[in-house]
Structure 1
Amino acid sequence: MSTDAAGSGETRPEITVTEQAAERALDLLEGEDLDVTEAGLRLFVQQGGCAGLSYGMRFDDEADEDDTIYEHHGLQVFVDPASMNYIEGSVLDYETGLQGEGFHVENPNVVSECGCGESFRT
Protein backbone atom coordinates (compact mmCIF):
# COMPACT_ATOMS: atom_id res chain seq x y z
CA MET A 1 0.00 0.00 0.00
CA SER A 2 1.32 3.46 -0.79
CA THR A 3 0.05 6.90 0.01
CA ASP A 4 1.20 10.27 -1.18
CA ALA A 5 1.60 12.34 1.98
CA ALA A 6 0.93 15.52 0.01
CA GLY A 7 -2.48 14.11 -0.89
CA SER A 8 -2.19 14.45 -4.66
CA GLY A 9 -3.56 10.94 -5.15
CA GLU A 10 -0.75 10.19 -7.60
CA THR A 11 -0.24 6.45 -8.20
CA ARG A 12 3.36 5.28 -8.28
CA PRO A 13 4.93 1.86 -8.80
CA GLU A 14 5.18 0.11 -5.46
CA ILE A 15 8.32 -0.04 -3.36
CA THR A 16 8.17 -3.55 -1.88
CA VAL A 17 9.70 -4.63 1.42
CA THR A 18 10.24 -8.30 2.11
CA GLU A 19 9.06 -9.75 5.40
CA GLN A 20 12.66 -10.41 6.49
CA ALA A 21 13.69 -6.80 5.78
CA ALA A 22 10.64 -5.41 7.60
CA GLU A 23 11.24 -7.59 10.67
CA ARG A 24 14.91 -6.56 10.88
CA ALA A 25 14.11 -2.86 10.38
CA LEU A 26 11.36 -2.98 13.02
CA ASP A 27 13.77 -4.60 15.49
CA LEU A 28 16.27 -1.82 14.86
CA LEU A 29 13.58 0.87 14.98
CA GLU A 30 12.32 -0.32 18.36
CA GLY A 31 15.91 -0.21 19.62
CA GLU A 32 15.96 3.50 18.77
CA ASP A 33 13.00 4.12 21.12
CA LEU A 34 10.87 5.50 18.28
CA ASP A 35 7.10 5.06 18.03
CA VAL A 36 6.66 2.46 15.27
CA THR A 37 3.15 3.77 14.54
CA GLU A 38 4.59 7.15 13.43
CA ALA A 39 8.25 6.47 12.68
CA GLY A 40 9.64 4.63 9.70
CA LEU A 41 12.58 3.82 7.52
CA ARG A 42 13.61 6.55 5.10
CA LEU A 43 14.97 5.12 1.84
CA PHE A 44 16.74 7.67 -0.35
CA VAL A 45 19.23 8.11 -3.16
CA GLN A 46 22.23 10.41 -2.89
CA GLN A 47 25.11 11.47 -5.11
CA GLY A 48 28.20 9.37 -4.50
CA GLY A 49 30.12 6.24 -5.22
CA CYS A 50 32.08 5.37 -8.33
CA ALA A 51 28.92 4.80 -10.41
CA GLY A 52 27.35 8.14 -9.46
CA LEU A 53 24.47 7.33 -7.08
CA SER A 54 24.14 5.37 -3.86
CA TYR A 55 21.35 4.33 -1.52
CA GLY A 56 20.89 5.72 1.94
CA MET A 57 18.68 4.62 4.81
CA ARG A 58 17.90 6.12 8.18
CA PHE A 59 15.08 6.16 10.68
CA ASP A 60 12.80 9.20 10.83
CA ASP A 61 10.26 9.89 13.54
CA GLU A 62 7.66 10.93 10.93
CA ALA A 63 7.16 11.37 7.19
CA ASP A 64 7.79 14.68 5.47
CA GLU A 65 4.87 16.45 3.82
CA ASP A 66 5.82 15.45 0.26
CA ASP A 67 6.96 11.86 0.97
CA THR A 68 5.35 8.80 -0.51
CA ILE A 69 4.67 6.35 2.32
CA TYR A 70 4.66 2.59 1.88
CA GLU A 71 3.68 0.08 4.55
CA HIS A 72 4.73 -3.55 4.45
CA HIS A 73 4.60 -6.06 7.30
CA GLY A 74 4.09 -3.25 9.85
CA LEU A 75 7.01 -1.12 8.63
CA GLN A 76 6.50 2.32 7.14
CA VAL A 77 8.95 3.36 4.41
CA PHE A 78 9.29 7.05 3.52
CA VAL A 79 10.58 8.08 0.08
CA ASP A 80 11.10 11.69 -1.00
CA PRO A 81 10.04 12.73 -4.55
CA ALA A 82 13.59 13.13 -5.92
CA SER A 83 14.64 9.67 -4.74
CA MET A 84 11.43 8.12 -6.05
CA ASN A 85 12.52 8.96 -9.60
CA TYR A 86 15.43 6.53 -9.18
CA ILE A 87 13.96 3.73 -7.07
CA GLU A 88 10.30 3.27 -8.03
CA GLY A 89 9.49 -0.40 -8.47
CA SER A 90 12.36 -1.54 -6.21
CA VAL A 91 12.38 -4.31 -3.61
CA LEU A 92 14.07 -3.84 -0.22
CA ASP A 93 15.37 -7.11 1.20
CA TYR A 94 17.57 -8.20 4.08
CA GLU A 95 20.19 -10.75 3.10
CA THR A 96 22.49 -12.97 5.13
CA GLY A 97 25.39 -14.95 3.75
CA LEU A 98 29.11 -15.64 3.77
CA GLN A 99 29.86 -12.01 2.86
CA GLY A 100 27.91 -10.74 5.86
CA GLU A 101 24.40 -9.45 6.26
CA GLY A 102 22.53 -6.28 5.49
CA PHE A 103 19.81 -4.52 3.57
CA HIS A 104 19.83 -4.79 -0.21
CA VAL A 105 17.83 -2.84 -2.79
CA GLU A 106 16.86 -4.73 -5.95
CA ASN A 107 16.24 -1.86 -8.36
CA PRO A 108 14.80 -2.51 -11.84
CA ASN A 109 15.94 0.95 -12.99
CA VAL A 110 19.68 0.25 -12.61
CA VAL A 111 21.64 0.01 -15.86
CA SER A 112 25.06 -0.47 -14.23
CA GLU A 113 26.62 -0.91 -10.80
CA CYS A 114 30.14 -0.44 -9.54
CA GLY A 115 32.23 -3.54 -8.85
CA CYS A 116 31.58 -3.47 -5.12
CA GLY A 117 27.83 -3.01 -5.55
CA GLU A 118 27.69 0.13 -3.41
CA SER A 119 26.70 2.56 -6.13
CA PHE A 120 24.70 2.52 -9.35
CA ARG A 121 23.60 4.38 -12.46
CA THR A 122 20.09 4.52 -13.93
Structure 2
Amino acid sequence: MSTETVDGGTDAAVTVTESAASEALRLMESEGMDTDVAGLRLFVQQGGCAGLSYGMRFDHEPEDDDAVIKQNGLRVFIDPASQNYIGGSTLQFEGGLQGAGFHVENPNVVSECGCGESFRT
Protein backbone atom coordinates (compact mmCIF):
# COMPACT_ATOMS: atom_id res chain seq x y z
CA MET A 1 0.00 0.00 0.00
CA SER A 2 1.53 3.31 -1.04
CA THR A 3 -0.91 5.64 0.70
CA GLU A 4 0.97 8.65 2.06
CA THR A 5 -0.30 10.31 5.22
CA VAL A 6 0.54 13.91 6.00
CA ASP A 7 -0.56 15.26 9.37
CA GLY A 8 -1.18 18.96 8.86
CA GLY A 9 1.83 21.22 8.68
CA THR A 10 2.99 23.42 5.85
CA ASP A 11 4.08 20.49 3.65
CA ALA A 12 0.50 19.29 3.14
CA ALA A 13 -0.83 19.37 -0.41
CA VAL A 14 -4.01 20.98 0.90
CA THR A 15 -4.71 23.03 4.01
CA VAL A 16 -8.08 22.40 5.68
CA THR A 17 -9.58 25.22 7.70
CA GLU A 18 -11.14 24.46 11.06
CA SER A 19 -14.62 25.37 9.79
CA ALA A 20 -14.29 23.09 6.72
CA ALA A 21 -13.10 20.17 8.85
CA SER A 22 -15.87 20.71 11.41
CA GLU A 23 -18.62 20.81 8.78
CA ALA A 24 -17.28 17.79 6.86
CA LEU A 25 -16.96 15.75 10.06
CA ARG A 26 -20.49 16.72 11.08
CA LEU A 27 -21.85 15.59 7.70
CA MET A 28 -19.88 12.33 7.76
CA GLU A 29 -21.08 11.51 11.27
CA SER A 30 -24.69 12.23 10.24
CA GLU A 31 -24.24 9.57 7.53
CA GLY A 32 -22.90 7.08 10.08
CA MET A 33 -19.35 7.09 8.70
CA ASP A 34 -16.32 6.17 10.84
CA THR A 35 -14.32 9.41 10.74
CA ASP A 36 -11.17 7.61 11.93
CA VAL A 37 -11.04 5.73 8.61
CA ALA A 38 -13.34 7.58 6.21
CA GLY A 39 -12.56 10.94 4.68
CA LEU A 40 -13.40 13.66 2.21
CA ARG A 41 -12.15 12.94 -1.31
CA LEU A 42 -11.07 16.14 -3.09
CA PHE A 43 -10.40 15.77 -6.80
CA VAL A 44 -10.12 17.65 -10.06
CA GLN A 45 -12.09 16.57 -13.13
CA GLN A 46 -12.53 17.72 -16.71
CA GLY A 47 -15.52 20.00 -17.10
CA GLY A 48 -16.92 23.46 -16.96
CA CYS A 49 -16.36 26.32 -19.35
CA ALA A 50 -12.78 26.91 -18.15
CA GLY A 51 -11.74 23.25 -18.52
CA LEU A 52 -11.39 21.85 -14.97
CA SER A 53 -13.65 21.68 -11.95
CA TYR A 54 -13.41 20.45 -8.37
CA GLY A 55 -15.24 17.43 -7.08
CA MET A 56 -15.81 16.29 -3.51
CA ARG A 57 -17.40 13.23 -1.98
CA PHE A 58 -17.11 11.15 1.15
CA ASP A 59 -15.24 7.85 0.86
CA HIS A 60 -15.12 5.07 3.44
CA GLU A 61 -11.35 4.60 2.95
CA PRO A 62 -8.49 5.89 0.77
CA GLU A 63 -7.30 4.24 -2.44
CA ASP A 64 -3.81 2.69 -2.42
CA ASP A 65 -2.14 5.60 -4.23
CA ASP A 66 -3.96 8.47 -2.47
CA ALA A 67 -2.26 11.10 -0.39
CA VAL A 68 -4.08 11.24 2.94
CA ILE A 69 -3.96 14.61 4.67
CA LYS A 70 -5.26 14.86 8.21
CA GLN A 71 -5.94 18.32 9.56
CA ASN A 72 -8.30 19.46 12.29
CA GLY A 73 -9.47 15.85 12.68
CA LEU A 74 -10.54 15.46 9.03
CA ARG A 75 -8.90 13.01 6.64
CA VAL A 76 -8.73 14.30 3.03
CA PHE A 77 -7.99 11.83 0.20
CA ILE A 78 -6.32 13.16 -2.96
CA ASP A 79 -5.41 11.05 -5.98
CA PRO A 80 -2.00 11.63 -7.63
CA ALA A 81 -3.39 13.31 -10.77
CA SER A 82 -5.42 15.81 -8.75
CA GLN A 83 -2.43 16.67 -6.55
CA ASN A 84 -0.78 18.24 -9.60
CA TYR A 85 -3.62 20.80 -9.84
CA ILE A 86 -4.45 21.52 -6.21
CA GLY A 87 -1.12 21.51 -4.39
CA GLY A 88 -0.96 24.44 -1.99
CA SER A 89 -4.74 24.96 -1.95
CA THR A 90 -6.91 25.72 1.07
CA LEU A 91 -10.25 23.99 1.63
CA GLN A 92 -12.71 26.36 3.30
CA PHE A 93 -16.33 26.24 4.38
CA GLU A 94 -18.27 29.43 3.84
CA GLY A 95 -21.74 30.24 5.10
CA GLY A 96 -23.88 33.21 4.33
CA LEU A 97 -27.08 34.62 2.94
CA GLN A 98 -26.35 33.34 -0.55
CA GLY A 99 -25.84 29.79 0.66
CA ALA A 100 -23.23 27.74 2.42
CA GLY A 101 -20.68 25.40 0.92
CA PHE A 102 -17.12 24.23 0.57
CA HIS A 103 -14.70 26.34 -1.43
CA VAL A 104 -11.19 25.63 -2.70
CA GLU A 105 -8.78 28.58 -2.69
CA ASN A 106 -6.20 27.46 -5.25
CA PRO A 107 -3.00 29.49 -5.86
CA ASN A 108 -2.38 27.55 -9.12
CA VAL A 109 -5.45 28.96 -10.91
CA VAL A 110 -4.66 31.35 -13.75
CA SER A 111 -8.29 31.93 -14.78
CA GLU A 112 -11.81 31.01 -13.73
CA CYS A 113 -15.09 31.03 -15.57
CA GLY A 114 -17.57 33.81 -14.84
CA CYS A 115 -19.65 31.72 -12.44
CA GLY A 116 -16.57 30.46 -10.55
CA GLU A 117 -17.42 26.79 -11.01
CA SER A 118 -14.44 25.87 -13.19
CA PHE A 119 -10.83 26.92 -13.62
CA ARG A 120 -7.64 26.66 -15.65
CA THR A 121 -4.08 26.27 -14.34
Same fold (TM over 0.5): yes
- Structure 1's consecutive aligned runs of 4 or more residues displaced over 2 angstroms after TM superposition are none
Aligned-residue offset at 1:56: 0.2
CA-atom RMSD, angstroms?
Answer: 1.4
Show the 5 A alignment for 1:106-121. Answer: 106-121=105-120
| Cross-structure match for 1:30 | 29
Unaligned ranges ≥5, structure 1:
none
2:45 is equivalent to residue 52 of structure 1: no
TM-score (norm 2): 0.90
Pairing 1:5–2:3 present:
yes
Aligned to 1:90: 89
- Give the TM-score normalised by the residue count of structure 1: 0.90
1:70 is aligned to 69
How many percent of aligned residue pairs carry the same amino acid? Answer: 67
SS at match of 1:100: coil
Unaligned runs of 5+ in 2: 6-10
Please give the alpha-carbon distance, in whole angstroms, between the structure 1 residues aligned to 2:78 and 2:109. 17
Q: 2:41 & 2:88 partners in 1: Cα distance?
A: 16
Aligned residues: 115
